[in-house]
Amino acid sequence: MLSIDQNCHPLWDTVPKLQALVAKGIRVTHYIEDVDVAFTALGSTVDDEVLHLARERFHRSGGQDWGAALFYAEFLGRLPVDIRHWEPVTGLKTNTLARQLGRSVDDLYDEFSPGDTWQLIGSSYIGDRLHHRVIGDLSVAETRHFVHELRRRARDHMLATFPRKDSQERLGRWLKHEDTRVERLLAARAGHRLVDLYHDWLREDIPSGLLRLGLTSSLFALGADPARTALLEMFLRDYAHASALYNQAIEETDSELRPLKRSDGELPFFAILEHQGHLVRTAMFLRDGEMLLGEHGIPVGADGAMPVDALANVGVQAMCGKALLLVIQARLGQGGGPLALPYRGSLYMPAVDRLAAKLAADGLLPGTLHPLVRVRFHLLDRIAELDTPIRLPAHLAPYFGRDEIPARDLAAAYPELAADAAERLDTLRCPRARQAWQRENLPELMAALDDNEARRRALAHADTTPEQMSDIWQHTKALQQELLDKTLRQVARDTQARDLDYWDSRGALWPWAIALGGEAFYQHLIESAEVYEEPVPSLPAT
C-alpha cells in the first residue's frame, strides 16, 4: 500500500494513519511529500525570502495564503472559505453584499475567510514567476524557528481547549517529551532538509519493519518507472481529447480546482528541477510539438514517448501530476498500489473518480487502477465515552449556548448539528425560504422593518417633509443592514458546522486524544480505526 503526505510530524494525522495501517499488519510505503509547492502568499515578490506563520485564507482575487510544508490545525477549527461561494445562499453578489453592509469586499474576506490552520507561508518564486520552491527545497536551518513557533501555538491552543487539570497534566507530559525529542532531531538534522527531519520523526514514531519511507520525488523520478509517466505520455499523444475530459471532470463535480487552459496547451503536470540553486517545480505545456517547461522546449514525437534523455539534459529530476492526476498516477500499474488517505482527505476525490472513469470509458487509462483506501478514526464518535470538558471555538459555542461542554455532549450533538446546518444552507438559497427563516429567527428585526414600511406608506399619502422621509429611509437601511449582517453570520457559522465531520479523522489526533482520554484512548483510536476501500462511482447515465 502507498501513502503520500505533507507536514509529516505528530501535530498532523499522518502519524496515526500510518500507525493504524501498521497495527493491522499492512505493509506500507510512505512517501514524504517533497514536490508540492512549499507555500504561497498574496503579494509575494520574486526572491522574497521572508517567511512567517499565518492563518490559511482566501483573498478577493481568488488567491490564497497557503502553506503545505509546515502547519497545525486547531481542534474543531474553521476551514478557510472563499466567500464568493456564499453568493447563492445570500442571494447577493459579493460586491453587492459588501456595499449593502457598508463594508469593503476586502474587509469581508479579512473577517470571514481565514480558517484556524496556522501555516508557514512566504514567496515561492525563484528568479521569476515560473519557478516555485517545493517542500524538498526547505532546509532545517530556515524552518527551525517556525517549528518551535508552531509548536508554541499548538501548545497554547490545546491547553486552552482542554482546560481540566487531568487533561492539562497529560498534555504537559506529552509535550515535554516531544520538546526533548524535537530538540534532538533538529540538532541531528541541522545541516539537512525539512523532509529529512520528517523522515527521522516518522521513523521514531513508527519503527515497524512494515513501514518503508521514501520521497514523492523518488516515486515520480524521471525514468524510474514507465507506469508513472504513462498518463503524461497519453496527454502528449491525445491532448485535445484528454484535456477535454480533464476539464469536464472538474466542471461536472463542481470542483474548486482550476481547469486547464487548453488554448495555451497547459498540461496537468509539473516538472521538478534545479533552478538557481533551488529545487523548484514549473508548469508544463504542449505547443507545436514541443513540451515547454520554464525556459526549456523539448521536442515530442507523434507517439508521445517520454524524451527522458532530453529532459535529463535540462535538469528535470521528476514529473508529477496536478492533484487530480497525481492520485491516479500513484495507483497505476504494477509499480503502483492502493493509496491510503484519511477519511475526508483530498476533498477533490469526486473529480478524480470522474476523470478516471472518463479516461477508462474512452480507452485512455494506461493500465489497471488500484483502489483508494480510507483510514477512518471516528474521533467525534469515540469521545462519547468521555466526560472531558472541551472549550468550544467561537463559531460553535452559539449552537450549544455555552463555551464549554463535556466530550460526550459533543459526540451526541454533532451529527444533527451538522445536518441541520447543511439543510439551513440549502434552504437559504431560495429567496422566499430565506425570508421565512428571517421572520422565524429574527422576528424583532422583521417586525421593525414591517413597521417602518407601514410608516413610509402612510407618510407617502400625507403632507410629509423630505427630512421625515429621509429619516424613515435611514432607519430602514440600518435595519436591513443589521438583518443582512445577522443572516451572513449564520451562513458563516453553518458553513463550518456543516463540515464538522472533517474532524472525524483529521488534525493533531495524537495530542488531542491524549488530552481527551490519555494514552489508552489514543491506542483505542489506532486499534479500532476503520480501513476500507472507497467504492468507485460509475459514470452518470447520459
**What are the boundaries of each domain within the chain?**
2-13+35-213+513-533, 219-376, 390-501
DSSP string of 441-469? H-HHHHHHHHHHHHHHHHHHTS---HHHH
Going by C-beta distance under 8 Å and a sequence separation of 6 or more, which residues neighbour residue 527?
20, 23
Q: Residue 330 above 70 pLDDT?
A: yes
Q: State residue 467's pLDDT score.
A: 75
Q: State residue 62's pLDDT score.
A: 87
Nearest 5°: the CA angle 414, 416, 421 is: 90
Q: State residue 521's pLDDT score.
A: 99
Q: State residue 542's pLDDT score.
A: 62
pLDDT digits (tens, 9 = 90+) for 259-276: 999 999 999 999 999 999
Q: State residue 533's pLDDT score.
A: 96
Q: Residue 163 above 90 pLDDT?
A: yes
**Binning pLDDT at 50, 70 and 90, where does residue 453 land?**
confident
**Average pLDDT of the chain to the nearest whole number:** 95
Over residues 212-235, the mean pLDDT reads: 93
Assess contact for 308 and 223: CB atoms under 8 A.
yes
Q: State residue 71's pLDDT score.
A: 98
Going by C-beta distance under 8 Å and a sequence separation of 6 or more, which residues neighbour residue 223?
306, 308, 312
pLDDT digits (tens, 9 = 90+) for 126-155: 999 999 999 999 999 999 999 999 999 999
- Helices (H) and strands (E) in the chain — how many of each? 20, 20
What would the 3-class secondary structure string for 180-202 be?
Answer: HHHHHHHHHCCCCEHHHHHHHHH
**Binning pLDDT at 50, 70 and 90, where does residue 457 land?**
confident
**Percent of the chain with pLDDT strictly greater than 70:** 99
Over residues 419-438, the mean pLDDT reads: 98
Q: Is the pTM of this model over 0.85?
A: yes
Q: State residue 145's pLDDT score.
A: 98
**What percent of the residues of the chain are helix, what percent strand, and what percent coil, each to the nearest 5?**
50, 20, 30
DSSP string of 320-379? EE-HHHHHHHTTBTTT---EEEETT-STTHHHHHHHHHHHHHTT---SPBPPEEEEE--H
Dihedral pair phi/psi, residue 316, rounded to 5°: -70, 130
Dihedral pair phi/psi, residue 181, rounded to 5°: -65, -45
Q: State residue 68's pLDDT score.
A: 96
Q: State residue 541's pLDDT score.
A: 66
Closest to 460 measured CA to CA, from 475, 450, 447, 473: 473
Q: State residue 472's pLDDT score.
A: 76
Residue burial 356-384, b: 16+ Cβ < 10 Å; e: rest: bbbbeeeebbbbebbebbbbbbbbbebbe
Q: Residue 291 above 70 pLDDT?
A: yes
Over residues 455-473, the mean pLDDT reads: 74
Phi-psi region of 123 (alpha: psi -120 to 50; beta: other; left: phi over 0): beta
434 burial (CB, 10 Å; 0-12 / 13-18 / 19+) is: middle
pLDDT digits (tens, 9 = 90+) for 483-538: 999 999 999 999 999 999 999 999 999 999 999 999 999 999 999 999 999 987 77
Helical residues (DSSP H) of 162-265, grouped into ranges: 165-188, 194-205, 216-219, 226-237, 239-252
pLDDT digits (tens, 9 = 90+) for 181-218: 999 999 999 999 999 999 999 999 999 999 999 999 99
Q: Residue 470 above 80 pLDDT?
A: no
Q: Which residue has the higher pLDDT, 449 or 75?
A: 75
Over residues 416-444, the mean pLDDT reads: 97
